[in-house]
Chain A
Amino acid sequence: MKCRDIQKELAAYLEGIISPKEKEGVENHLSSCQMCRKVFEELKRTEALVKGLEQVEPPPWFTQKIMSRVRAQQESKKNIIQRLFYPLHIKVPIEAFATVLIAVAAVYLFKANEPEMKRIHVPAATEQSASKDEVSKQPAETQGDTTILGGRVALEGVPKPQKQKGATRDKDQREQEVKEELKQRTVPPSAAEAPLPPVLAMKKEVPEKFTQTSKPPNQQLADRQHADTPAEQDQKIDSTAKTSGRGKAIDQRAFSTRLEVGTLSEKRAVALDISLHVRDTKAVKPDVENLLGQLGAQNIKKESLQTAEILTAELQTEKTQELLEKLKLLGEVKEKGLSSELPKGTIGIRIEMISPP
């Protein structure tokens, strides 16, 4: 082996990772070659110097410093994650849920309070649309009760609900409660407590068709337009009533209130009832008819009873005084209506001609 080859092997020899044969060759050469022995010594010295390097100690703050940086990094990472993902994965569902909840609550509250809010406006609306209420009264009379939420609840649409007689005791009790509450809450005290005016008392005597048909077509149309609101209320109230029991009770009150108020208005519209005492009703009857014709009365209808002749007609309010004056020429006139409080426009009049027995 030459010195160059030996010096290449020296590092491995020093590490002890050389084959026994190569090791023997190296050792033989080193014992005879001073130059190579010197190189070997330098190599050993180098290794010793490197291995003799002292370990440095970390500064006392080192762990703390590293951990503070790690924690700061963790926080910033959290913030980034929160900024980027928190709103998407957690917050949005919460917000969405809250929004939906609020919306549902708002709708529920609105639905629950809607009938009461409408009820506040009911009296004014129904007074204006009295004739429509009469129209709506008709089905109320015939139906008598309404099915709500699968249970039949009697609604007092008119003062004489025939079918209520067949209703159960519970229904009657509930109706009574509704009516009492209605009087306390919705009907103005004056209307609820004051005795009915004479006109109201006459209401049943006047045929219903009298008031229904006694108005000009344009007014009927206007009334119908007015009356659309209560009709819609009916629909809304019914639909609302299906949502909750509370709404149901309120609906009944509102419905009942409107019908009662409507009945009052109707009774005022049937304005004038006149009793004419004459000796011979059949003789006077054509004169009265002529008189009505002269005054422009319409829809003149006659009815003969055993003791009386009855004429019904529609007449302008302004003509009523003239009618009364001229009737006085024919016999003794008694007014049952309050002519001073007659509504303007066309009113229904009823003239009952009575002869002494």
Chain B
Amino acid sequence: MSISLEKVTKRFGVTFGVEDVTTVIPSGALTAILGPSGAGKSTLLKLIGGLVTPDEGRIFIDDDDVTDVDPRHRNIGFCFQNYAPFRHMTVAKNVAYGLKVRHRPRAEIAARVEEMLELVRLSALANRYPAQLSGGEMQRMALARALAISPRVLLLDEPFGALDAQVRAELRTWIKELHDRIHVTTVLVTHDQNEAMEVADSLIVLNEGHVEQTGTPTDLYDHPASEFVLQFLGPSTNVFGQAVRPHDLIIVTAGQGWPATVTEISTLGFEIRVAIVLENGDAAWLQQSRAEFDTHPVTIGQAIGVQRRDATVSPVGTRLDPAARSTEAVPDDRALTQRAP
């Protein structure tokens, strides 16, 4: 079930609104809405869910115009940032809620609840109350509750926001696996670019209520449509006023490229960061693999040349033909460092 938004606008005052958003969320995919806080990410999700009504524009789920449809009739699964557990009900009752509302026969509800709890691995905790669950368990309960009604789309608002780092990582992998199994069109909101890049098939980058760019994580990383996207998705540094990825800069012999001086070298395991100062006094840094660095080592104070890696990355604003891109050779070390923060 695809979701499409046509010129959707919702204004709240200074922040959190969205302005003239037109986008299509592909059917069956896991799409992440990504952006800094206040960019309108949650608003966009709530617009799809019907919890917020747009000032202008139309929203379609699978060609049905749902703009004026109450959330209770949209048949969506919505997971809230705080999980919104029904605190006076057991885990099993929480999961059964949407089915009871639909007046399903008792036996069917029981079977479905069991199936859902098994899916989210909470069968052993069926009779616990939310207050007795950990954050990760509550998140999985919220997922089971949303999925029990067989929703057309699954909407997750900051699903990992309130969890500690280890649980986050586990749940991230788990959601990806879950999505691979059930294939329901899923949209999740996050402010964490690593999380979005790791988990999502496609990204919608929001900034101040506007869609900056949409596409696959690799596409956006390699061909950012704006400096904002480049800086927001992964590391960046400035060379003569132009933002570039630090691993897209290479060191060449002095006299070639832009003249620069090495000011600092930090070894972060496999990655080496070389801080440099350019001719005009601007500071920048570049990222190399250990192997790359060892082949042509430099020392602090050394005069070097710096130039763009003549590679897959296009300057900001231009996009390569995807067919052409797939035939290009990607240097081995780049493949290894491209997801480093």
Answer whether A and B are interacting partners. Answer: no
Q: Which residues of A contact B (CB under 8 A)?
A: none
